[in-house]
């Protein structure tokens, strides 16, 4: 036992065991929110914007009309595919810029929080629902992404309020965007007010469902 016991000088205390150094996580930056992967590229949102820009490029060649690409000028009959195609079509640069800017901002926020499927599903569902309501209300012509953009905005807004309940510059900015998108329905005829309302209501429902998933 004496051979195995460590030799200690009289009056000396045994040294404390060395603590293993652990790497601590860096502090969150100002633009980071817990639970959101800020380093994830929003590929689905980028794809939606690229598809709209590609449709505009094709239309600008003059070889294909908006009607043939899916624009809605009246009753669609059996051409249900127009409800999906119309939100990607624009014939005014200002209209398209505002819609795609809103889609880019709020689609990116949703994609970083929930994954690629969230902005893709909400954009298509809100855009289609908005066009369907416009057709039912007979507010022709109809095309453009104002309903789809409002769907993304509404989904983000509802989920944010239900899960975090905070108010601030982010929510004020969202309300400003919503007001501008609704005013487009007055300034530009194809941006039907019925499509805007349909897209916004669909987005609210999607935001409610996302909020249940977050809890």
| DSSP-derived secondary structure for 13-27 | PPPPPPPPP-PPPPP
Exposure letters 108-131 (e unless 16+ CB within 10 A, then b): bbbbbbbebebbbbbbbbbbbbbb
| Closest residue by Cα to residue 80 from 151, 136, 152 | 136
**3-state SS class at 115:** coil
Q: Which residues, in sequence order, are bridge partners of residue 142?
A: 72
Q: Which CATH superfamily is domain 51-214 in?
A: Rhomboid-like (1.20.1540.10)
User: Which residue did the predictor score with more confidence, 20 or 22?
Assistant: 20
User: 44-61 pLDDT, tens per residue?
Assistant: 999 999 999 999 999 999
Contact 111, 40 (CB under 8 A): yes
| Closest residue by Cα to residue 136 from 84, 74, 68 | 74
> pLDDT-derived band of residue 173, with 50, 70 and 90 as boundaries?
confident
Q: What's the pTM?
A: 0.80
User: Which residue did the predictor score with more confidence, 112 or 18?
Assistant: 112
> pLDDT-derived band of residue 19, with 50, 70 and 90 as boundaries?
low
Least confident of 22-31, 89-98, 154-163: 22-31
How confident is the model at residue 171, as a pLDDT? 81
């Amino acid at each position: 036992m004496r051979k195995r016991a460590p030799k200690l000088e009289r009056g000396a205390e045994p040294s404390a065991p060395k603590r293993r150094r652990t790497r601590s996580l860096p502090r969150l930056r100002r633009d980071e929110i817990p639970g959101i992967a800020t380093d994830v590229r929003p590929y689905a949102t980028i794809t939606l914007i690229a598809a709209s820009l590609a449709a505009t490029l094709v239309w600008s060649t003059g070889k294909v009309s908006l009607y043939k690409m899916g624009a809605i000028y009246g009753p669609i009959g059996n051409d249900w595919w127009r409800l999906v195609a119309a939100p990607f079509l624009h014939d005014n640069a200002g209209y398209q810029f505002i819609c795609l800017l809103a889609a880019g901002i709020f689609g990116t926020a949703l994609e970083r929080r929930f994954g690629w499927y969230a902005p893709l599903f909400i954009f298509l569902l809100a855009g289609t629902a908005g066009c369907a309501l416009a057709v039912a209300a007979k507010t022709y012509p109809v095309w453009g992404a104002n309903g789809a953009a409002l769907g993304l905005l509404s989904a983000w807004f509802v989920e944010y309020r239900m899960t975090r309940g905070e108010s601030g510059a982010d929510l004020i900015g969202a309300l400003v965007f919503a007001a501008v998108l609704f005013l487009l329905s007055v300034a530009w005829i194809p941006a039907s007010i019925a499509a805007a309302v349909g897209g916004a209501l669909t987005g609210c429902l999607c935001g409610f469902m996302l909020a249940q998933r977050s809890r």
